[in-house]
Amino acid sequence: MEDATTPQAEPQTLYPVIDNTKDYFIERDGVRYAGNHVLVEVWDAIHLDNPTIIEAALCQGARDAGATILHSHFHHFSPYSGVSGVVVLAESHISIHTWPEKAYAAIDIFMCGDCDPHDALPSIKKALQPKSMDVSAHKRGVIK
């Protein structure tokens, strides 16, 4: 008979465990590194106060890049109606922070493995229709 004073607790998974074999270091042009991280400055864009449109665009961008979406979370701010959100990927993340009053958004897209963060840009461009986008690319985790 089991001891009623020491019940078996249900195992708790506070942090979801995800099988991920794509999260490897990559080697390209003789450089071995963890992944590519692009910072995107979005200017003169529309819909920057609309979290529904922004989340759909970022998630579509993730899928277009062949990434796997694990979680997304977005906030809508007041009084300036900005939006902040992140999409957590098996291959890293996409984030956005918008300033509608300046028609500006800061996006960063980090993807490891075979995924290229640049492949996420067309869906974002289509949704937000910016007059200009400045993209800087950074290799993360370069092994020297």
Report the C-alpha gap between 99 and 97 in whole angstroms. Answer: 7
**Does residue 108 contact residue 95 with C-beta atoms inside 8 Å?**
yes
Q: At its nearest, how many Å lie between a copy of itself and the CB of residue 6?
A: 24
Q: How far is CA 138 from CA 4, 101, 117, in A?
A: 57, 29, 11
> Total residues at the site for a copy of itself (CB under 8 A)?
51
Q: Does 16 bind a copy of itself (CB under 8 A)?
A: yes
> Which of 37, 112, 115, 123 does the annotation list as catalytic?
112
Q: Does 113 bind a copy of itself (CB under 8 A)?
A: no
Question: What's the token pair of residue 121?
Answer: 């840009």
**Does residue 134 contact residue 45 with C-beta atoms inside 8 Å?**
no
Among 69, 70, 133, 135, binds a copy of itself (CB under 8 A): 70
Torsion of CA 119, 120, 124, 125, to 10 degrees: -10
Q: At its nearest, how many Å lie between a copy of itself and the CB of residue 46?
A: 17
> Which of 47, 72, 76, 97 does the annotation list as catalytic?
97
Report the C-alpha gap between 23 and 2 in whole angstroms. Answer: 43
**Does residue 34 contact residue 140 with C-beta atoms inside 8 Å?**
yes
112 is annotated as an active-site residue: yes
Q: Does 92 bind a copy of itself (CB under 8 A)?
A: yes
Q: Which residues are catalytic?
A: 92, 97, 112
Q: Which residues make up the interface to a copy of itself (CB under 8 A)?
A: 14-21, 23, 25, 34-35, 37, 39, 41, 51-52, 70-71, 73-80, 82-86, 88-90, 92-93, 95, 97, 99, 102, 104, 106, 108, 110, 112, 136, 138, 140-141, 143
